[in-house]
Amino acid sequence: MKYYIISGEASGDLHASNLMKALKKEDDHADFRFWGGDLMLAQGGTLVKHYKDLAFMGFAEVIMNLRTILNNIKFCKKDILEYAPDALILVDYPGFNLRIAEFAKKNGITVHYYISPQIWAWKENRIKKIKRDVDQMYVILPFEREFYEDKHDFPVHFVGHPLLDAIADRKPISPEVFAEENGLNEKPIVALLPGSRKQEITKMLLVMSKMAGKFPDHQFVIAGAPGQELSFYNNFLKEENISIVENKTYDLLSVATAAVVTSGTATLETALFKVPEVVCYKGNEISYQIGKRLVNVKYISLVNLILDKEAVTELIQDDFNETNLENELFKILDYKGRESIFDHYYKLEQALGGKGASEKTAKLIIKNT
């Protein structure tokens, strides 16, 4: 079959690439055309647009780039019709993908949505469009099935979280080998995960990088984001105790003692690697003030949302400053502070279900197309 896949972010690139791998196992004639990234490209097929050219963060940024976004939507619709896929697979990225879902449905193309838009957090009225335009929805968080089926009478497939597979399938690396390969010393590592977009990386690292001078017994290592040039990070490497590794986030987390993480999928990845973390977020002030009034969740990290408690500390907007971050980092580097976090992480992993999300989803897509 012919599959047209749309992913607009780094995390979507990871999950979509694993889904493509699973689809190829089930379908010997699988042909792919997609919007995504390097991981998807490695699975074969034709890359139409890279996600790094699509990611606009926050309300203000979207408005500033509205013309580009509208042109991308217009081009995507034309490209889908020319390719004539058997199945359209949308991966998260709701602002763009829900528009494409409506178009595809009207043109008789089967619409599969993998990784639900977070309408349980905000824009719940999008459920009307989803029920109208999406043929099959595959959810990865345990509370999403109840949200869709019990609250909105829309049947979905809970397939488990694909991060369990991505982490389990990686090749392990020892701390000694990682240090040698990346020019690091023997000090315990604090990983800094500032995000994937330039604007958020800059905001987050301005504070995160200051920690390198406050904890001399540890070394601080920035996880360089895919698609970002190494030179972009140079302004944040002025402390002696800080360095960067590119495209090795999982290896970094596997050897880290603690982490400072920008809110997003990385908070869950860090937890699944059993790394105590402080979760941070600081955005455009206008976007933040608008979002605060619209978002209907108690927490910003997936860890806390799934467990429905503050298992990891969140520093948001003005609370994300040098003093608070130093205090919270000190706590998770202390033995007593770490012990309770590990207990929360065990419960988190149990709630996410077992492995095999990609394989389950691939089989269901083929069955329901």
Q: Give tens-digit pLDDT for 6-30.
A: 998 888 998 999 999 999 999 999 9
CA angle 2, 131, 91 (to 5 degrees): 45
Residue 62: pLDDT band by 50, 70, 90 thresholds?
low
The tokens for 234 are 């140079």
Cβ(294)–Cβ(318) below 8 Å: no
- Range(s) of the domain holding residue 50: 2-161+353-367
By residue count, the chain amounts to 369
Query: Quick one: 209 and 326 in the same domain?
Result: yes
Q: Are 50 and 276 in contact (CB under 8 A)?
A: no
* CATH number for 275: 3.40.50.2000
Amino acid at 228: Q
Same domain, 131 and 184: no
Indicate the burial class of 183 (C-beta count within 10 angstroms; 0-12, 13-18, 19 or more): exposed
* CA–CA distances in Å: residue 171 to residues 25, 37, 254, 286: 21, 21, 11, 42
Say if residue 63 is in the same domain as residue 207: no
pLDDT of 334 > 90? The answer is: no
Residue 154 sits in the same domain as residue 244: no
Count of domains for the chain: 2
> What tens digit of pLDDT does each residue of 196-253 get?
888 889 999 999 999 999 999 999 999 998 778 888 998 888 778 999 999 899 999 9
Cβ contacts of 67 within 8 Å, gap of 6 or more: none
d(CA 296, CA 304): 14
Q: Are residues 174 and 301 in the same domain?
A: yes
For tokens 């869709």, the residue is: 148
Global pTM reads: 0.79
Lowest mean pLDDT among 65-74, 99-108, 248-257, 285-294: 285-294
Q: Let me know whether 183 and 36 are in one domain.
A: no
Is residue 200 a contact partner of residue 207, using CB atoms and an 8 Å limit?
no
Residues 209 and 327 in one domain: yes
Q: Are residues 246 and 113 in the same domain?
A: no
One domain for residues 42 and 56: yes
Domain co-membership, 212 together with 280 = yes
CA 72/CA 65 separation, integer angstroms: 11
Share of the chain above pLDDT 70, in %: 93
Q: Which sign does the torsion angle of CA 53, 57, 59, 60 carry?
A: negative
Give the integer Cα–Cα distance in Å for 253 and 257: 8
Question: How far apart are alpha carbons 330 and 324 in whole angstroms?
Answer: 10
List of residues 6+ apart from 354 with CB closer than 8 A: 160, 164
Give the pLDDT confidence of 33-60 residue by residue, as tens digits.
Answer: 999 999 999 999 999 999 987 765 555 5
Task: Judge if 178 and 141 occupy the same domain.
Answer: no
Does residue 220 contact residue 207 with C-beta atoms inside 8 Å?
A: no
Token pair recorded at residue 43: 């699975």
pLDDT one-digit tens code per residue, 262-274: 998 899 999 999 9
Same domain, 279 and 151: no
* Mean pLDDT, the chain, integer: 91
Residue 337 pLDDT: 73
